Amino acid sequence: MNSEAKRSQTANSSFTMDDFAKALEKHDYQFQKGQVVHGKVFQLDHDGAYVDIGGKSSAFIPRDEASLRAVTDLSEVLPMQEDLEFLIIREQDAEGQVTLSRKQLEIQHIWERLAQMQENSQTVPVRVTGVNKGGVTVDLQSLRGFIPRSHLIERDNLEALKGQTLTAGFLEVDRNNKKLILSQRLASRSSNFSLLEIGQLVEGKVTGIKPFGVFIDLDGVSALLHIKQVSQKFIESLDKVFQIGQPIKAVIIDLDEGKGRVALSTRVLENFPGEVLENMDEVMASAEARANRANQKAAE
């Protein structure tokens, strides 16, 4: 290779290295998408605002990313020279400018709050915004949620629910997939749950008979009367003792609100083993006095 060719190759490669160094200089690697940064707005224009976040070049927040609510005056939500938090939604462009959002940050905070509420089994008011055959769509703190038909108290006339505010509990809060599934029945169960306590005599209706026990509905709360808690006497088949829709009085012997579990007993109401099997009507008629006696015995 002659000396001229060598010189031009060196010139080319040094140009490339220089170029690379300049590009590196321009790019600010401390700012990544998804990062929360502090900054101050120093200029407003029609499309948004310029923000100093301490980088090599200023950042930009588009008008529709300024707030969750509709904005007419940007200065109301982006006061000048005030230290504010922003979320980086787009990394640097060719000019080294990152794009910011306050709106996405607010949405992030809402998801975090809702996840916390789900953990604490809290309920929330939601407004019904639409109806489809699977259930209803709802608005919850600006997020779109869904209540499946099976989790609504009114399941037949969904159209009538439009515009109404319902109290709902959380079935699924999944920020990554933007999934927010709620339940009105869960909320009603939760408010009814707070009225229950161990030792209390409750009345409900038989909704299911299984080999291991009987399911009883207590105003929206599902409770289990286990086969061993029906009588002090051995039972071969619960089908012979109970029927669907039958009213039953029983004593609560265990409660677990987190798992939505209520355990009942009619066994504690018996005066002698097998009385529930031989004379259910008599046990039910005097259930209150029998429950009081059982509770006094338990307290001794």
Q: Do 177 and 236 fall within a single domain?
A: no
- Does some domain include residue 272? yes
- CA distances (Å), 26 to each of 17, 51, 55, 184, 286, in order? 14, 17, 10, 53, 85
- Residue 39, pLDDT score: 94
Give me 216's structure tokens. Answer: 């009883």
- Does some domain include residue 109? no
Q: Residues near 298 by Cβ (< 8 Å), separated by ≥ 6?
A: 199
Q: Do 91 and 130 fall within a single domain?
A: no
From CA 181, how far away is CA 172, in angstroms rounded? 5
- Residue 71, pLDDT score: 86
- Does some domain include residue 53? yes
- Does some domain include residue 290? yes
From CA 172, how far away is CA 184, in angstroms rounded? 13
DSSP secondary structure of 3-61: HHHHHHHHHHHHHHHHHHHHHHHH--TT--TT-EEEEEEEEEETTEEEEE-SSSS-EEE
Domain count, the chain: 3
- Does some domain include residue 270? yes
Q: Do 294 and 231 fall within a single domain?
A: yes
Q: Whose CA is closest to 182, among 190, 172, 195?
A: 172
- Residue 56, pLDDT score: 77
- Residue 214, pLDDT score: 94
- Does some domain include residue 3? no
Q: Note whether 132 and 146 are within 8 A (CB).
A: no
From CA 99, how far away is CA 108, in angstroms rounded? 17
From CA 179, how far away is CA 148, in angstroms rounded? 13
Strand partners, 225: 214, 264
- Residue 133, pLDDT score: 84
The low-confidence residues of the chain, meaning pLDDT below 70, are 1-29, 258-260
From CA 210, how far away is CA 227, in angstroms rounded? 9
Q: Do 43 and 95 fall within a single domain?
A: yes
Q: Do 215 and 274 fall within a single domain?
A: yes
- Residue 24, pLDDT score: 54
- Does some domain include residue 113? no
- Does some domain include residue 9? no
Q: Do 54 and 96 fall within a single domain?
A: yes
pLDDT digits (tens, 9 = 90+) for 262-292: 999 999 999 999 999 999 999 999 999 999 9
- CA distances (Å), 223 to each of 6, 129, 171, in order? 88, 33, 20
Q: Whose CA is closest to 93, among 57, 126, 127, 64?
A: 57
Give the burial class of 269: count Cβ atoms within 10 A of its Cβ; 0-12 exposed, 13-18 middle, 19 or more buried.
buried
Write down which residue in 101, 129, 153 finishes a domain: 101
Q: Do 165 and 238 fall within a single domain?
A: no
- Residue 213, pLDDT score: 94
Lookup result for tokens 């009345």? 203
Q: Do 126 and 61 fall within a single domain?
A: no
- CATH code for the domain of 83: 2.40.50.140
The domain containing residue 141 runs over which residues?
A: 120-189
From CA 282, how far away is CA 131, in angstroms rounded? 49
